[in-house]
Amino acid sequence: MNYYTHVIWDWNGTLLDDVAWCITSMNTMLKKRELPIIDSITAYHRVFGFPVKEYYRRVGFDFEKERFENLAVEYIELYHGTEGSVPLFPNAEDVLSDFQQKGIHQIILSASEMSNLLAQMKPFNINTYFDEILGISNIYAESKTDMGKLYIERTKPKKAVLIGDTIHDKEVADALQVDCILIANGHQSKTSLLSSGAVVIDCIMDIRNMMELPK
């Protein structure tokens, strides 16, 4: 069988179960400005997306009053104010361990700023599951596509899959010319994910049923 040799993991909303905390952090900013809050995960799914700047616009921020860059800094400070208390998804480490035992190369490819990403991962002691951890160089959640392309060019994987939780992850996978599996318990709804044409599953444990793995 043509097994996957490389798994490219997204972090936020895929391995890290941070949706509720993202909503709380954003609502703190919205309340401060007396703007309508995001009152449910369904409402969050309606507005969240990439580029992140457009997400900020959709929730009500006026960039004529405040610069996006300043808002991004405020959000990151709030978001990382709970370092260590946002959990991994149930069974995430079991899947990482299973893949490692089967000899599959794993990396993280994230739109999180690199130092923030490493700080967020530290409490879980999971770095040893990954060949590489790739984060961006600033906090504005710009595209991770270029980082992914460099990785693919450098490692030339025989068969790779990107596992994420947003339509943007499918776009990245397409740009990298790798397969894509999206998990529908992260930052975008299952309906939205299905519209991307990707394979969509409900939770991380379902990956074992969707991938050809060495015995």
In the chain, what is the straight-line distance between the N-terminal and C-terminal CA atoms, in Å? 11
In a domain, 1, yes or no: no
In a domain, 172, yes or no: yes
Last residue of a domain, one of 43, 67, 82: 82
| Shared-domain flag, residues 34 and 128 | no
| Shared-domain flag, residues 56 and 107 | no
Last residue of a domain, one of 27, 62, 82: 82
pLDDT for res 137: 77
Q: Has residue 144 got a pLDDT over 50? A: yes
pLDDT for res 74: 96
Q: Which CATH number is 126's domain given?
A: 3.40.50.1000
Write out the two tokens for 156: 């030339």
State whether residue 41 is helix, strand or coil. helix
pLDDT for res 141: 46
| Shared-domain flag, residues 10 and 62 | no
Percent of the chain scored above 70 by pLDDT?
A: 93
Residue 25 neighbours by CB under 8 Å, 6+ apart: 75, 78, 79, 81
pLDDT tens digits, 80-101: 886 557 999 999 999 999 999 9
pLDDT for res 1: 46
Dihedral of alpha carbons 122, 103, 108, 197, sign: negative
Average pLDDT, the chain: 92
pLDDT for res 128: 97
Last residue of a domain, one of 82, 117, 135: 82
Question: Which letter does DSSP use for residue 202 in this model?
Answer: S
8 Å CB contact between 192 and 78: no
**Torsions phi, psi of 181, nearest 5?**
-125, 130
| Shared-domain flag, residues 41 and 142 | no
Estimate to the nearest angstrom the gap between the alpha carbon of 49 and the chain centroid: 11
8 Å CB contact between 86 and 79: no
| Shared-domain flag, residues 103 and 113 | yes
| Shared-domain flag, residues 117 and 201 | yes
Cα separation values, 197 from 51, 75, 106, Å: 20, 31, 24
**Which has the higher per-residue pLDDT, 108 or 208?**
108
Average pLDDT (66-79) is 94
Q: Has residue 164 got a pLDDT over 60? A: yes
Q: Report the alpha-carbon angle 9-205-7, nearest 5.
A: 25
| Shared-domain flag, residues 159 and 132 | yes
> What is 66-97 written as a DSSP string?
S-HHHHHHHHHHHHGGGTT-SPBPTTHHHHHH
| Shared-domain flag, residues 98 and 172 | yes
| Shared-domain flag, residues 99 and 145 | yes
Q: Has residue 212 got a pLDDT over 70? A: no
Number of domains, the chain: 2
8 Å CB contact between 134 and 107: yes
8 Å CB contact between 120 and 83: yes
In a domain, 138, yes or no: yes
In a domain, 152, yes or no: yes
Residue 90 neighbours by CB under 8 Å, 6+ apart: 203, 204
| Shared-domain flag, residues 35 and 47 | yes
> Is the pTM value of this prediction over 0.75?
yes
pLDDT for res 63: 96
| Shared-domain flag, residues 112 and 205 | yes
Range of the domain at 184: 6-17+87-210
| Shared-domain flag, residues 62 and 143 | no
